[in-house]
Amino acid sequence: MTLFARVHGSGSPVIVLLHGFGAFSGVWHRIAENLGKQHRVIAYDLPGHAQSLDWPEVPSPKAAARAVLADLEARGIEKAHFVGHSMGGAIATLAALSSPERVASLTLLAPGGFGEVINGPLLRRFGAATSAEELRDCLVAMATPDFSPSPEAVEPLVAMRAQAGQKEMLEKIADAIARDGRQGVIPPDWLATLSMPVMVAWGTEDPMLPFSQTSTLPPHFRLEPLPGAGHMLIEERPDLVADLIRRAIGSA
Predicted confidence (pLDDT) per residue in 43-62, tens digit: 999 999 999 999 888 899 99
- Sketch out the chain's domains with CATH numbers: 5-250 (3.40.50.1820)
Phi, psi of 9 (to 5 degrees): 70, -170
**pLDDT number for residue 251:** 75
Closest among 225, 212, 218, 233 to 186, alpha carbons compared: 218
Taking the C-alpha atoms of residue 100 and residue 252, their distance in angstroms, rounded to an integer, is 13
**How many C-beta atoms surround the C-beta of residue 128 within 10 A?**
16
**pLDDT number for residue 252:** 65
**pLDDT number for residue 64:** 97
What are the CA-CA distances from residue 233 to residues 7, 11, 71, 77 (Å)? 21, 27, 26, 27
Low-confidence ranges of the chain (pLDDT < 50): none
| CB contact at 8 A, 60 and 87 | no
Q: Say if strands 103-109 and 198-203 run parallel, antiparallel, or are unpaired.
A: parallel
**pLDDT number for residue 149:** 93
| Residue 60 DSSP one-character state | P
Closest among 219, 231, 194 to 87, alpha carbons compared: 231
Order of strands across the sheet that contains 80-85: 5-8, 40-44, 14-18, 80-85, 103-109, 198-203, 222-226
**pLDDT number for residue 12:** 84
What are the CA-CA distances from residue 145 to residues 12, 136, 142, 231, 238 (Å)? 39, 12, 9, 12, 18
DSSP string, 156-211: HHHHHHTSTTHHHHHHHHHHHHTGGGB-----HHHHTT--S-EEEEEETT-SSS-G
Q: Say if strands 14-18 and 5-8 run parallel, antiparallel, or are unpaired.
A: unpaired
Per-residue pLDDT tens digits for 95-142? 999 999 999 999 999 999 999 999 999 999 999 999 999 999 999 999
